[in-house]
Structure 1
């Protein structure tokens, strides 16, 4: 059963058609990567799914209910979101930012129960941000903010976590740590949908991959069948080959 079902989705901005006839279903308990060149519509698609913007045509169904009929508080119990832009200007502590993930369950900061505190501390431990607990969100690095926002999404205890380029400010170690943690979260039955730039990481971690090009779904399916030299050539205009290293497949880019 799909947790998110997108049907003939179109989105226009300033009379320009950004998304064109998108049909995708995201099943429960899987890790999905969304890849594609800059300007292909990846972030616009994500913003439609989280109800940040509204489709010009078509529909999005979340847990069998049209998204336009789901209240924000109820949607927060289903979907949590980690944005691409980690800039936060309000001087909250990192702990308070993560506690905001409990907002659908806790009406006011300071009203949280022992369970809420435990969930926040557990999420910060998982993301390696417990040492930032008392620091202001404005005083830490972009990579640290990215991990704090992931902790917030985990503490939210939603059924689905959507991430828009969650690795953009992270060093290699933290990139792998975050993806390893997302795999653990997926194994608990949650759905992960992540926009990724690194095709090799998509190949390593995702069950299914959506490749976008010019506002359309170019390919969608099991990752190893979708991330192929032919598809990469068609979408990115570069040559590559797939090789096996230590029993894992990797994309090696080549120049002819």
Structure 2
């Protein structure tokens, strides 16, 4: 069953076509990666899905409804979003930022329930930021902020989590921990869609991959089929080879 369908999407800015002929289906309960060089349209595609941008042509369907006809609270029940390098200048505590993820669940009067408090605590513990709960979001590092924003998305308890470069600003340990959290969320039935720069993390951990080049879908399908030497060399303009280390496939870049 699909959760997101993109049909003949085109996005133009000042007569320049940024995205063209995008046809994609994201099935519920899978972990997707979106990869491609800088400027290939990855973030623009994500922003069209989350209603931050509107297609010039075509449409985005979320659970078979036109995304622009879905009310905000209903949309928040379906999709949560973790942006790239968000600058938060308001002096909210980290706990308050994560609690914002519960806005779609909290009643009109704004009263937090025990369930809201439980979900926030669980999300902050899962991302190892509960000890930061009383710190201002403006006082923590970029990597810590990225984990707080992921905790907010988890606390939102949506059916699909979309992430734009969720591993930026994170050290290797926390990158692997976040990937592990995303895998557990996918195992629980959630759909994960992540823009990733690390080809090998996509190859190792994701079910399906979308490769983008010049605003178009270059290839799409099972990750092990799509991330291959021919595709990577053509899309990124580098030489590489595929090796297997202890049964795990890796792309090794050899030269420009």
**Rounded Cα–Cα distance in structure 2 between residues aligned with 1:137 and 1:108:** 26
Are residue 14 (structure 1) and residue 21 (structure 2) matched? no
Is the 2:232–2:238 contact (alpha carbons within 8 Å) kept by the matching residues of 1?
yes
Is the 1:36–1:236 contact (alpha carbons within 8 Å) kept by the matching residues of 2?
yes
- Answer with 175-184 or 243-252: which moved more: 243-252
Are residue 101 (structure 1) and residue 97 (structure 2) matched? no
- The residue aligned with 1:242 is 242
Is the 2:97–2:148 contact (alpha carbons within 8 Å) kept by the matching residues of 1?
yes
SS in 2 for 1:55: coil
Is the 2:85–2:142 contact (alpha carbons within 8 Å) kept by the matching residues of 1?
no
Change (3 A) 1:115 1:49: same
Query: Which runs of no fewer than 5 residues in structure 2 stay unpaired?
Result: none
**Rounded Cα–Cα distance in structure 1 between residues aligned with 2:169 and 2:147:** 10
**Once the 2 structures are TM-superposed, how far is the Cα of residue 255 of structure 1 from its aligned partner?**
2.5
- The residue aligned with 2:147 is 147
**Rounded Cα–Cα distance in structure 2 between residues aligned with 1:157 and 1:6:** 23
- The residue aligned with 1:60 is 60
SS in 1 for 2:106: coil
**Once the 2 structures are TM-superposed, how far is the Cα of residue 85 of structure 1 from its aligned partner?**
2.0
Change (3 A) 1:186 1:42: same
* Cα deviation digits, residues 73-97 of structure 1 (max 9, x gap): 1100000000002210000000000
Is the 2:209–2:220 contact (alpha carbons within 8 Å) kept by the matching residues of 1?
yes
- The residue aligned with 2:51 is 51
Is the 2:34–2:210 contact (alpha carbons within 8 Å) kept by the matching residues of 1?
yes
Task: Give the alignment's TM-score, normalised by structure 1.
Answer: 0.98
Is the 1:212–1:219 contact (alpha carbons within 8 Å) kept by the matching residues of 2?
yes
Is the 1:233–1:239 contact (alpha carbons within 8 Å) kept by the matching residues of 2?
yes
**Rounded Cα–Cα distance in structure 1 between residues aligned with 2:92 and 2:50:** 24
**Once the 2 structures are TM-superposed, how far is the Cα of residue 107 of structure 1 from its aligned partner?**
4.5
- The residue aligned with 2:229 is 229
The alignment yields a C-alpha RMSD, in angstroms, of 1.1
- The residue aligned with 1:79 is 79
**Rounded Cα–Cα distance in structure 2 between residues aligned with 1:149 and 1:206:** 21
SS in 1 for 2:166: coil
SS in 2 for 1:77: helix
- The residue aligned with 1:25 is 25
